[in-house]
Copies of this chain bind each other. A is one copy, B any other.
Amino acid sequence: MNLLDVSTPAALIDENRMLRNIARMQQRAHALGVRLRPHIKTSKCLEVARRQQAAGAAGITVSTLKEAEQFFAGGYPDILYAVSIAPSKLARALALRRQGCALSIVVDSMAAAQAVVDCGRAEAHAFDVMIEIDCDGHRSGVSPEHAELIEIGGLLHRNGARLRGVMTHAGSSYDLDNPQALERLAEQERSRCVRAAERLRAAGLPCAEVSVGSTPTALSAANLRGVTELRAGVYVFFDLVMANVGVCALSEVALSILTTVIGHQAEKGWVIVDAGWMAASRDRGTQRQNIDYGYGAVCDLDCNPIEDFILSGANQEHGIMSRRDGRAPDAIGSAIGCATACATGQAGIVERFPIGTRLRVLPNHACATGAQFPEYQVLTAGDSAPALQTWSRFYGW
């Protein structure tokens, strides 16, 4: 079995690259003196999580209760469900906890805290709860300075829930692209979450855990004083968005789409491949970044980028591969003569990428691209020639 025998499109993991990414983040957490709780929403794959655990991760973070259920069944009892809980989901969370899952849930409002308290009282159950802190105005969470923070903590603590601590996510880090700004945001994420913890403790409330993280801030923090755990997800694969943010190189991206050339529109410089948006996802996360990769960066079978070829367009099952600068190599070729064109690397795309050619495409956003596939094809790590394995992943809620 090799890459020429795999049915396309396929989601390929380069395990060597992935293991290096896992080791890098684990070393960061160790150096910063915190536990690492990887966010498995990126892979939704037990085999990937096993490698994170083997490297030293402590527990996992999930984005859905289905992830919690699947990973608890797969041997991961220590789980943080990092999305503010909907009252209608409490019964399902409770069922998991009664099976022995150490599931922590999250709230960021009095209304949600009240729902947790009410359910806990009705069911005679003490939920483990974290309060989400807004550290950067990105999305959810209560301000570390807001009176409601103490009210939420008090409501939980005095009514039978176990207040475990505070958590935040500096999601706005995805909009940055220089190390100084990233380090500043990492410090803001740390300091605001720690500040929230201090306010809770000063009010006489327990707050053992201080959990922060996003892949860019995790890799940029100068220190994490007062923090107990780090959460990050996409680092396990990395992607083009992270490369533009500046926290990885293209050669570290461990997920790619294997695709096959199925046609050409030579005069336009288009190669048609069998990876459209159903494979790549509709994520255009690089659209407003320094380098817009369209729907992905095109690589050869060894995962080396081919000049500036990208998936410039995507229909459901058709991808359009062309140069990022829009030049049609064939048109240039015929204008300046074939010998010159070939010598300058502008040879006709029909000859260069004939029908049946296999290529790999680096994704804009590994979480979104992975989600399009029922399984990964894995180029396994090791000294010998890599073998191919299939690792399943799941979807849905």
A positions within 8 Å CB-CB of B: 4, 7-10, 41, 63-64, 83-89, 92, 108-109, 111-112, 115, 134, 137, 139-140, 171, 260-265, 268, 272, 274, 277-279, 281-284, 313, 315-318, 320, 354-356, 365, 367-368, 371-375, 395-397
Contacts and interface: CB of A to CB of B under 8 A. Distances in A.
Contacts of A367: 316
A356 B41 contact: no
Contact of A263 (B140, B260, B320, B374): B140
B374 A262 contact: no
Contacts of A282: 281-284, 365, 368
A176 B264 CA distance: 25
Contact of A9 (B9, B261, B397): B397
Contact of A109 (B139, B263, B374): B263
A264 B41 CA distance: 23
Contacts of A374: 395-396
Contacts of A261: 86
Nearest to A4: B88
A268 B136 CA distance: 13
A395 B395 contact: yes
A261 B317 CA distance: 34
A375 B356 CA distance: 34
B112 A355 contact: yes
Contact of A7 (B111, B262, B397): B397
Given A368-B282, A395-B395, A8 B111 contact: no
A140 B318 contact: yes
A106 to B, nearest CB: 10
A47 to B, nearest CB: 18
A88 to B, nearest CB: 6
